[in-house]
Amino acid sequence: MRLRRVAGQEGPGIALWDESRERWLPLRDALAHRAADTVDLGARTLLGTVVGDMIAFLAGGAAVREAAMRVADRVADEAFDPDLAPQLPFAARSLRPFLLSPRHSEGVARGMAARYAPSEIVAQAQECERTEGETFPSFRPRPLMLTLPLLYQGNHNALVPSGTAIAVPPYGHDLDFELELGFVVCRDVRDAGLEECRKAIGGVVVLNDVSLRDTQWEELHGSPLGPVQKCKSFATAMSSEVLTADAVLDDLASLSGTVDVDGERWARGRADDFAHTLEACLARVRGRGRPGRRAVLDRHAGGLQRHRARAPAAAGGDGCPERAAHRHRDQPIRRRSRMSTVLWPGGHAPDGAALHVVNTATSTAPPEAVWAWLTRPDRWSEYYNNVRRVRHVSGPWPIIALGSTFTWWTFNTRVTTEVTEVEPYERLAWTGHGLGSRGHHAWILTARADGGTGIHTEETQRGAASRLFRPVLVPNMRREHQRWVDELGRRAETGRRP
């Protein structure tokens, strides 16, 4: 459900997007209309208590949304004319930006170096990558980012609504935009577990984390307090709309966004490589988590550093790339439906695959112990003899993480593998190719009530070789992969770590 604050005849309040009638419906005005009297008293009373408070509306969950839709149906034939001038959908009490996207982290490092680093350093990095075939070390995401949701304290008092003209502060000049997602906390989560944290996420918003890159570079290299102080504290723009969590939370990885300026596409981004879940981020700050907090998910990967050379000078908002970047904000967020518990990348889903193999097992070891052995390909052969000659190619190693690439031999075939999904202690997946076929292998670890771990793995393959040898491959893969999950669980139970 799409929501926003509007000014109606009965005063300010929440409006919902009535998709079937293609209009914004001011709920306070709708409740006051005589046509709404046919809605049962309980629904009208419930809606009346939250119609002026976005956080309370989101906290009300499905019951409030259903009440709102009943009222919308009753006033379908009535006309309303709310004032849709952009305004913040709620007054945030806190702002906690997280760094979650490895692609974004690398993109920022590359962009900052290209603009501000000495030319000899840039040349050295380029030569290193050309000769070594690996990402330059200074551009790689920090290892801690992949194991812990990293965040800083933002300035919630600097939030402004879509369309606001933003002047360049006097202490910098390189104004930049960042296309971001934010999630809205609508319930108290002090001392809450992961499931309670997930339920406390009421909706998402789109943001523009306006940044001064030259100031950020100075703070990065000169300040002991870090590179996100003055460079990001002067303005952050928020969409007028909120999308309720039920519409997106289960399929966050499918979200995408674009930045259009004067009809020209400047950037696009995706939310498919976040290193941690939303609830894990919220759990990181749950000691003080209260309703009204807005936490920033990381930048849409790929949506940064691409406009800088052509951004016009900005002063007082005129010609400001930040202002133009807002033009996408009131568009619906696109998503696609999840096909299964595995997040299959395009071209790898079971439908139409030459083969699809599923294996499961349980272990008395906790997920952290199983994860430790699963993420060490260099040690797989110690407990699974269908692996040999593992060789690192690029990316994090020996503990694999997002972007890790390596070659190995399995089923008498040399396979080149790249890690494409990482959610520590829960999800790991990679794509691979070899002998004319390509495949995707996903692992899901589930914490059990008894302290153990449920291990679930699936693999699909496509290609001529997979089709030709399917009658032999399928039973062999089922047998060998079952040995893999069984022995993985047993190895983790020993208590030893790789």
Is the model's pLDDT at 77 over the cut of 80?
yes
Segment 1-8 shows an average pLDDT of 96
From the centroid of its chain, how far is CA 316? Answer: 32
pLDDT in tens, 351-407: 999 999 999 999 999 999 999 999 999 999 999 999 999 999 998 999 999 889 999
pLDDT reported for residue 254? 87
Nearest to 321 by CA among 442, 426, 208, 233: 208
- Which tokens belong to 390? 């593992």
pLDDT in tens, 277-295: 898 888 888 755 556 555 6
Strands 179-185 and 264-270: unpaired
**CA–CA separation, 322 and 387 (whole Å):** 51
Nearest to 298 by CA among 276, 328, 325: 276
Radius of gyration of the chain, Cα coordinates, nearest whole angstrom: 25
The SS3 call for residue 218 is helix
Q: Quick check: pTM over 0.75? A: no
Nearest to 121 by CA among 235, 217, 257: 217
Handedness of CA 121, 123, 127, 133 (dihedral sign): positive
Please state which of the ranges 209-223, 299-313, 339-353 shows the lowest mean pLDDT. 299-313
Nearest to 436 by CA among 402, 467, 404: 467
According to CATH, the superfamily of the domain at 355-493 is START domain (3.30.530.20)
Query: DSSP alpha helices (H): ranges in 191-325?
Result: 194-199, 213-222, 278-284, 321-325
**Domain extent listing, the chain:** 2-74, 94-328, 355-493
Contact 428, 440 (CB under 8 A): no
pLDDT reported for residue 287? 55
User: 2.60.120.1310, 3.90.850.10, 3.10.310.10, 3.40.50.720: which CATH number matches 94-328?
Assistant: 3.90.850.10
pLDDT reported for residue 315? 29
* One-character DSSP codes across 135-154: --GGGSPPHHHHHS-EE---
Tokens 């972007």 belong to residue: 403
- Which tokens belong to 396? 């994090």
Confidence band (pLDDT; 50, 70, 90) for 142? Answer: confident
